[in-house]
Structure 1
Amino acid sequence: MRWPLSRLLLRKILRDMWLARTRMVMMTLAIALSVTAVGAFLSARAILGREISRNYLETRPASATVRVPGGVDAATLAAVKAQPGVLDATTRASFPARLKIGNGPWRMSLLFVSHAADPQRISRVTMQRGAWPPPPGGLVLERTALAFLDAEVGQAITVQVPGTVPASVTVTGSAHDGGVAPADQEQTAYAYTTDATLARLGVRSAPDELKVVIGDRTGPSGSRDVIETDVQRVAALLRARGFPVSRIEVPRPLEHPHQGQMEMVGFTLLAFGAAALLLSSVLVAALLGGLVTGQIRQIGAMKAVGARTGQILALYLTLTAILSVLATALALPTGAALGRALAAQGARLLNLDLFSLAIPPWAYALQITAGIFVPVLVALMPLVRGSRITVRAAIDDHGLDADAPARSWNGRLTTRLGGPSRLHTLATRNVLRRRGRLVLNVGLLAVAGAMFLTGLNTATGWNALVQEGTAHRADDLEIRLARPAPAARLVELARGVPGVVAAEAWARAGTTVHVPGRVDVARVYPDDAHGSFTMLAPPAATPLLRLPVEQGRWLRPADVGTVVLNNLASAQLPGIRIGDRVSLTVDGRPTTWRVAGIVSDFGSQATAYTTDRQYASVTGETGQAGLLRVVTARHDTGARQAVLDRIEAALEGDGVAVERSFRADELRAALDGHVLVLADALIGLGVVMGLVGLLGLAAGLVTAVTERTREFGVLHAIGATSTVVRGIVVAEGGFTAAISLPVAALAALPLTRLLGDFVGANAFRQPLPFRFNAPALLVWSLLALAGAALAATAAARRASRLTVRNALVTL
């Protein structure tokens, strides 16, 4: 007998969907929620990935910057432009400076200076207010610096370049620079002006930065090797023409300074979104498995009249596909809208302009593929198992696992455990009698809990890394000098200021990895922060710095020719090991050092540490220092700022030029700004995971009640009240949620470690501290138990309304 599948299939599917409409809605919502998450993160990642590159390339960044003290003449600049591989070149300058509004505190700044006649084809900015070039005595602020300084266009501000007298200039406009981070993240206000304004500030020097674009007729090169080879030829030309070259700076080609941070955050979000989709697919599989289980007798009847296994499987797969298509259709516009909102938020945090919010077609295609096929594939196994049941097995089905004898271990266990009442014993027995279902429901909720905890644990670990990075520094103030000064005099001046508890003067100098026969190449960006490499020389026994040693050891007073690298410095020297020798250029001199250790130094750029004695022996600058670190009596922001103002006044009164200074809380604010995106995203993802898990628990309880219609009818027949029936179902839900809690906590441990290692290694070259967020576990426990009670209440109400008649008419 041929089963007329094509004629009855639609009627059967529609009837099943109507009769199990609550479960159908839950399945559809679960898939839609997860596909929405995937779509939002995928769309945001696609938009930000495109726009961050576009913003950076809109500035037409230089491939390399050649530092030429004294600058070059017009004929040499023309000769550089004529070199093979050079697409364009120009001369610029940049100066560290300090800005302040009225009587407010000094804020760090970096002035980018060009000639008024410069065509601005390289490293350009986009004017938003005002015009370029600014008039003499005017400057343009990067747009994020306006809020950072609390300044306005047209306002007068005080500017001081190290070694000069503070002067008043006017903010004549604002601009967007797609090549720099937001001012509050770096605690630096970027400003743009001309050499005419610089002269009014008391600085008269030729531009010493030769900006070069390397490439071919297809455009700027994205190969660091090609760039370095060609720019070394440019350096050779300059030297041959009598212009000294101090070093070459080559940042990551065609990549924004925060490109890696954005990609890491995007990958993490997408991974969590994929986990949410997999979780919802497991939920769909569980609910469909329950639907098939509840229709075992129907399947047996269909097979008795000639239906084949393939036809029955096709019926349920079609039902799954319909739900997946509906859910994906709901999720696509929602995910796109949320993705655009996330991209807009990310753009604000990364200082980007969104030229387009268009989502690429491949992102939609991937969402559709994931939303439709992943649930179908995950549900395939329980559907195949259910569709293969024989007529005899269907008739013999009594609602128990096939391998669960009447006096199984779980029955004996629950009898021994007992409970507050026979009601709880019965509920425990009911939950345990379908061990496969129990494992699936507990696993579903446990996975959601594990992901929720992992997200919050990772966010907590990130915050702990920030706290540890600041805790390892005992100083409250850091003051960098424009030129080295006698260390003893610096300490004397600082200690003479009221409110100062301790002070140390350290030697400080920029450094680069030296390769014999080549001009030194630094990896630093034009902002002089990202990719920079510094040598610091504190006293060997300094109490102001206690960095965790990852390999080797810390500095000792008797060391000779020894350095300790922090983790970012070791990243600039791939494959470096303890005991290796490295060649570093310090104060213009190539020097050789032995690596004694590698330390964790979160919050600092790449740094090589040596002792003050060793530094003096190498540079010949005995008793000189370029950095002052101070401990204050009080540690609040106001007290620190007051002491800083007094120290700066004392230094300036003694003829010591300050380059920049900042408080410890400003460092914390800068670090927090870098981690804000990921921390907030992980918390949000944890909430999404929790919602999917609770939805699964609710749906599982509804399925269990539906499957046990006869059982509840019998309970009513023998005198069980509605209150008793409701109590059984609520206890079952609470028991399932309680079992999932320790499983979720245990599963979160390795997941937290894996995610923390990945995020930390990609962001700051060190794993995040492992932190288990106990309040998060408490929150999840309350959510799970409350959710279980809420879901069980709905299912219990349904169970309490079942009658003996319902049981008798159930097939």
Structure 2
Amino acid sequence: MLDYALVSPRWRKVLADLWGNKLRTLLVVLSITVGVFSVGMVYSSYLMFERDLALSWKTAAPASASVYADPFDEELVDSIRSLRGVKEAEGRRNVDLRVHTANGEWRQMFLTAIPDYNEQKVNLVRSQSGVWPPGDGDVLLERSSVAELGVTTGGSIQVETSAGRKRTLKVTGTVYDSSQIPSLFSGRSYGYINMDTLEKLDEERRLDQVNFVVEPWVLQGKETAPIEAVGRRAWSKLEQGDTTVFWLQVNKPGEHPLQGIINALIMLLTVLGVLSLLLGTFLLVNTVSAILAQQVRQVGIMKAIGARRNQILRMYLILVGAYGVLALAVAAPLGALAASAVTGFMAQVFNFDSGGLELPPKVIMLEAAAAIVVPILAAIWPVWRGTGITVREAVSDYGLGSVAAKGRLDTWIDKLLDKLKRLPRSVLLSLRNTFRRKWRLALTLLTLTVAGTVFMAVFSIRASLYSTLDDALDYFRYDVSVGFTENYRATRIEHEVLKVPGVKAAESWGFSSGRILRDERKLSEDDASKNVFILAPPVGTTMIQPKIIEGRWLVSGDESALVVNTEALKDSPQLKVGSPAVIKVGSRKLVFTVVGIAKSTLTGPIVYAPYPWFTGAIQEAGGARSVQIVAQSTDPQDQSNLGRKLEEHLKKNNLRVQNVDITWEQKQRIRSQFDILTIFLLLMAVLLAVVGALGLMGTMGINVLERTREIGIMRAIGASGVAIGKVFVVEALCIGVLSWLLGAILALPVAALLSYQVGVLFLQSPLAFSFSFLGVGIWLALSTLLSVLASLLPAWNAARLSVREVLSYE
């Protein structure tokens, strides 16, 4: 072990500064650690996401696109496989039904039948446990659905078919399907069966989905347009087979469907991580400035015995580097563990395989730069300024006299305090001391204000997400929606629905899917739009309330009128109020006149046509595929029970139900998805709050050291320990409240900007901004609490100083 006596005096001083004031060292190391931890965690998480998500998606042989339609024969899959540009195509059958969960609830379930599990080539479903492939009457559960259903391998599930019959399926294993949206997001469970089981579920042995992969020469980087062109030809092939196509889903080449959401989340976390690092750096600058102010005499003595400025500069910069090394030793492993935990959680939420803990060299290098290089660069100016003092200035420094001369701010504060003479003297002293070291106050306020601004902005983002959701669902004026597997007479549907107790009103709607063409020519089909949903409600409907931003809504007497929402306009910008619109529905080309444009929020591309004219045009006059119901009760649970009763009644009366959606349940499910985002943002905001609290604690600790002689004078004239401690607690409270006030002012524009960006990143449109006064109130309480906690230890240290100790203080 190296003998301490052999260490040169200057390095002994560095060690003494590190070890001699353990609290200060701890605060500085913690402040740097939080920033380095945040940056390391975010970057490691990004690399792990990039590695794991890409690998999970690639090994699944993902489809370039998928086409969904009414049931069709397998021969049509062969015709799509023969299209130019298609490398491989496979068909599947999806059955939407109800499943009875372990907790006694009936929920939606999606069962997928695959013709040959051992010959899969597109969107591979991989066995995780149990029997492979599923036998007749068996089901394999997708792993993200196991917890939702509360059943394990060897158990069984009870399902209810669209015809109303209950069937029991044995769970013989679990599988992983990376192409499925996880149950947490979709709100439904997933299972996999063979084609023979379809008949037991009252379904035809036919297909309704085609997944295809394009040839490599079709692809043009990450562009989806070439795939869409092939998809439109596949759409036409299915239509030629006399089937109705509902949807064309195109995947960005080599990218997971949820990659955009994850990248946006990582970007937001990166911004907050960099903020944590910057705030930690500000705290370091504050601390280094205070150390130099406290050690003015030491600097003078070193210069008096021959030390050069560059030697002293190097000594203090090495001290800063030592703080960084200690911070790196703590932050690097913690950041890796946190990144692994975050990736594991995200893998569960977004349903991909996590590769586990990893600490790449590039992350270590970034953390080392954040822990050592950034603090040293930030400390150069305060150290250079502090070491520039002359010997005469250093030896004449007495602490009290070192306070800068009064400026305009000091004069204004003195006048204000003169009007507040009725306040206790200790409180007046605290208020005056708050503005004594303005540079230090500015850095401390900056740290706390940024933390508070981000914290309050996160609450406003949450409020804006909820406000956007409320606006979107305000479009729906019904409580329950029932969809059918085929077209039924609207009068029959409404007659049966109104028989169910609890139904207040019902409306049957026409429904179809199509593509918007530029004109009626055959050639225009090659550059048709993506799919749009066509809703045909009664003209005087009260079940929806679209927000018309141009033109008008459908009125009585309209025939070929069309209202287009803004989502549909993204793909067909040529549509204007008064212009013609050609929509291909099946083999028919319907010509409309656009009479209005409606705002779209979370509803997808939709166009609206008058019910009588549209159902007649597609030869389904008087028919409907869905019915919307308003419940008599406004209680959510009553509405859920009504949905179940409606489903049972309709199935008993030979109406094949495809799905039952409860509006409030949809709202709750989307809110839970939004909460995942806000929880992540809130965690990072809490990290910023921790940095701010550490900064305030460091500031108060330095203030105690600087005012040691003043404390002695107060002690000598009879001040108690409680009175002295109260001075520092009140001073910290003043700083906390002032930072809250500044943060509240800044939170409004910052929250508006962040809400806009979050909306564009996650929903492809700005959020309906709503400022959260709840967040302002919570941060006021938190900043007050943090201020008190941060000042307790410095105040206690000040309160226990004796007169003898302060008289001997240098």
Query: Could you tell me the TM-score, scaled by structure 2's length?
Result: 0.88
What is residue 374 of structure 1 aligned with on the other side? 374
Please report how far the alpha carbon of residue 576 of structure 1 lies from its aligned counterpart in structure 2 after TM superposition.
7.3
Q: Greater CA deviation, 210-219 or 165-174?
A: 210-219
Please report how far the alpha carbon of residue 283 of structure 1 lies from its aligned counterpart in structure 2 after TM superposition.
1.0
Q: What residue identity is the alignment partner of 2:736?
A: A
From 449, 452, 455, the counterpart of 1:449:
452
Q: Structure 2 CA distance, aligned partners of 1:455 and 1:619?
A: 49
| Residues 129-278 of structure 1 aligned to structure 2 (within 5 Å) | 129-159=129-159, 162=162, 167-207=167-207, 209-216=209-216, 222-229=222-229, 249-278=249-278
Percent sequence identity over aligned pairs: 28
From 507, 510, 520, the counterpart of 1:507:
510
What is residue 466 of structure 2 aligned with on the other side? 463
What is residue 3 of structure 2 aligned with on the other side? none
CA separation of 1:480/1:284 partners in 2, compared to 1, >3 Å: closer, same or farther? same
Aligned residue for 2:507, secondary structure, equals strand
CA separation of 1:511/1:133 partners in 2, compared to 1, >3 Å: closer, same or farther? same
Q: Say if 2:100 is the partner of 1:109.
A: no
Q: Structure 1 CA distance, aligned partners of 2:548 and 2:390?
A: 66
Q: Say if 2:523 is the partner of 1:517.
A: yes
Q: Structure 1 CA distance, aligned partners of 2:380 and 2:576?
A: 51
Query: What whole-Å deviation, never above 9, does each CA across 1:246-302 have from its counterpart, x for those lacking one?
Result: 585423333323222222222222221221121111111111111122223333444
Q: Structure 2 CA distance, aligned partners of 1:178 and 1:539?
A: 40
Q: Structure 1 CA distance, aligned partners of 2:577 and 2:32?
A: 52
What is residue 3 of structure 1 aligned with on the other side? none
| Residues 671-750 of structure 1 aligned to structure 2 (within 5 Å) | 671-750=670-749
Please report how far the alpha carbon of residue 81 of structure 1 lies from its aligned counterpart in structure 2 after TM superposition.
6.0
Please report how far the alpha carbon of residue 331 of structure 1 lies from its aligned counterpart in structure 2 after TM superposition.
0.6
Q: Structure 2 CA distance, aligned partners of 1:239 and 1:257?
A: 24
CA separation of 1:229/1:564 partners in 2, compared to 1, >3 Å: closer, same or farther? closer
Query: What whole-Å deviation, never above 9, does each CA across 1:351-397 have from its counterpart, x for those lacking one?
Result: 22224433443233322222323333333333333233444554565
CA contact (8 A) 1:563 1:596 kept: yes
Q: What residue identity is the alignment partner of 2:695?
A: G
Segments of 5+ residues of structure 1 without an aligned counterpart are 1-5, 525-531
Aligned residue for 1:212, secondary structure, equals strand
Q: Structure 1 CA distance, aligned partners of 2:366 and 2:569?
A: 39
| Residues 40-439 of structure 1 aligned to structure 2 (within 5 Å) | 40-65=41-66, 70-71=72-73, 73=75, 77=78, 85-100=85-100, 106-116=106-116, 119-159=119-159, 162=162, 167-207=167-207, 209-216=209-216, 222-229=222-229, 249-391=249-391, 393-394=393-394, 398-402=401-405, 404=407, 408-439=411-442
Q: Greater CA deviation, 730-739 or 568-577?
A: 568-577
Query: What whole-Å deviation, never above 9, does each CA across 1:562-585 have from its counterpart, x for those lacking one?
Result: 544555444545797777765443
Please report how far the alpha carbon of residue 418 of structure 1 lies from its aligned counterpart in structure 2 after TM superposition.
3.1
Aligned residue for 2:419, secondary structure, equals helix
| Residues 474-493 of structure 1 aligned to structure 2 (within 5 Å) | 474-493=477-496
Q: What residue identity is the alignment partner of 1:745?
A: A
What is residue 754 of structure 2 aligned with on the other side? 755
Query: What whole-Å deviation, never above 9, does each CA across 1:154-195 have from its counterpart, x for those lacking one?
Result: 445455664696655433332111111222421222222222
Count of aligned pairs between the two proteins: 795
Please report how far the alpha carbon of residue 479 of structure 1 lies from its aligned counterpart in structure 2 after TM superposition.
0.2
CA contact (8 A) 2:118 2:133 kept: no
Aligned residue for 1:448, secondary structure, equals helix
Q: What residue identity is the alignment partner of 1:442?
A: L
CA contact (8 A) 2:164 2:651 kept: no
CA separation of 1:563/1:234 partners in 2, compared to 1, >3 Å: closer, same or farther? closer
Q: Structure 2 CA distance, aligned partners of 1:53 and 1:464?
A: 34
Q: Greater CA deviation, 545-554 or 631-640?
A: 545-554
CA contact (8 A) 1:458 1:682 kept: no
Query: What whole-Å deviation, never above 9, does each CA across 1:441-464 have from its counterpart, x for those lacking one?
Result: 222222222222222332333234
Q: What residue identity is the alignment partner of 2:54?
A: S
Q: Say if 2:642 is the partner of 1:643.
A: yes
Q: Structure 1 CA distance, aligned partners of 2:576 and 2:8?
A: 73
Query: What whole-Å deviation, never above 9, does each CA across 1:768-800 have from its counterpart, x for those lacking one?
Result: 343343343333223322332233232223223
Q: Structure 2 CA distance, aligned partners of 1:241 and 1:628?
A: 29
Q: Structure 2 CA distance, aligned partners of 1:647 and 1:80?
A: 39
Q: Structure 2 CA distance, aligned partners of 1:99 and 1:720?
A: 74
CA contact (8 A) 1:701 1:795 kept: yes
CA separation of 1:223/1:761 partners in 2, compared to 1, >3 Å: closer, same or farther? closer
Aligned residue for 1:454, secondary structure, equals helix
Q: Say if 2:655 is the partner of 1:656.
A: yes
CA separation of 1:568/1:444 partners in 2, compared to 1, >3 Å: closer, same or farther? same
Q: Structure 2 CA distance, aligned partners of 1:377 and 1:754?
A: 31
Q: Say if 2:502 is the partner of 1:496.
A: no
| Residues 796-811 of structure 1 aligned to structure 2 (within 5 Å) | 796-803=795-802, 806-811=805-810
Q: Structure 2 CA distance, aligned partners of 1:121 and 1:540?
A: 47
Q: Structure 2 CA distance, aligned partners of 1:259 and 1:87?
A: 24
Query: What whole-Å deviation, never above 9, does each CA across 1:490-518 have from its counterpart, x for those lacking one?
Result: 22322222111111112222233446536
Aligned residue for 2:747, secondary structure, equals helix
CA separation of 1:65/1:467 partners in 2, compared to 1, >3 Å: closer, same or farther? closer
Q: Greater CA deviation, 39-48 or 541-550?
A: 541-550
Please report how far the alpha carbon of residue 721 of structure 1 lies from its aligned counterpart in structure 2 after TM superposition.
3.5
CA separation of 1:799/1:64 partners in 2, compared to 1, >3 Å: closer, same or farther? closer
Please report how far the alpha carbon of residue 692 of structure 1 lies from its aligned counterpart in structure 2 after TM superposition.
1.5
CA contact (8 A) 2:92 2:112 kept: yes
| Residues 590-605 of structure 1 aligned to structure 2 (within 5 Å) | 590-591=589-590, 592=592, 594=594, 596-602=596-602, 604-605=603-604
Please report how far the alpha carbon of residue 736 of structure 1 lies from its aligned counterpart in structure 2 after TM superposition.
1.6
Please report how far the alpha carbon of residue 304 of structure 1 lies from its aligned counterpart in structure 2 after TM superposition.
4.6
Q: What residue identity is the alignment partner of 1:482?
A: T
Query: What whole-Å deviation, never above 9, does each CA across 1:317-346 have from its counterpart, x for those lacking one?
Result: 221111112101101111111111121111
Q: Structure 1 CA distance, aligned partners of 2:487 and 2:371?
A: 63
Q: Greater CA deviation, 422-431 or 566-575?
A: 566-575
Q: Structure 2 CA distance, aligned partners of 1:98 and 1:765?
A: 32
CA separation of 1:37/1:628 partners in 2, compared to 1, >3 Å: closer, same or farther? same
Q: Structure 1 CA distance, aligned partners of 2:502 and 2:206?
A: 41
CA contact (8 A) 2:240 2:587 kept: no
CA separation of 1:279/1:468 partners in 2, compared to 1, >3 Å: closer, same or farther? same
Q: What residue identity is the alignment partner of 2:53?
A: I
Please report how far the alpha carbon of residue 519 of structure 1 lies from its aligned counterpart in structure 2 after TM superposition.
5.5
CA separation of 1:671/1:447 partners in 2, compared to 1, >3 Å: closer, same or farther? same
What is residue 767 of structure 1 aligned with on the other side? 766
What is residue 529 of structure 1 aligned with on the other side? none
CA separation of 1:202/1:293 partners in 2, compared to 1, >3 Å: closer, same or farther? same
What is residue 628 of structure 1 aligned with on the other side? 627
Aligned residue for 1:761, secondary structure, equals helix
Q: Greater CA deviation, 286-295 or 114-123?
A: 114-123
Q: Structure 2 CA distance, aligned partners of 1:739 and 1:339?
A: 35
CA contact (8 A) 1:512 1:522 kept: yes
Q: Structure 2 CA distance, aligned partners of 1:370 and 1:595?
A: 58
Q: Greater CA deviation, 591-600 or 42-51?
A: 591-600
Please report how far the alpha carbon of residue 654 of structure 1 lies from its aligned counterpart in structure 2 after TM superposition.
4.3
Q: Greater CA deviation, 168-177 or 282-291?
A: 168-177
Please report how far the alpha carbon of residue 650 of structure 1 lies from its aligned counterpart in structure 2 after TM superposition.
3.8
Please report how far the alpha carbon of residue 122 of structure 1 lies from its aligned counterpart in structure 2 after TM superposition.
1.5
CA contact (8 A) 1:249 1:521 kept: no
Q: Structure 2 CA distance, aligned partners of 1:587 and 1:84?
A: 22
Q: Structure 2 CA distance, aligned partners of 1:102 and 1:297?
A: 74
Query: What whole-Å deviation, never above 9, does each CA across 1:94-152 have from its counterpart, x for those lacking one?
Result: 34344446996653333322223750121121112333332223332222333333444
CA contact (8 A) 1:533 1:606 kept: yes
Query: What whole-Å deviation, never above 9, does each CA across 1:616-646 have from its counterpart, x for those lacking one?
Result: 4653544332211111122445433442333
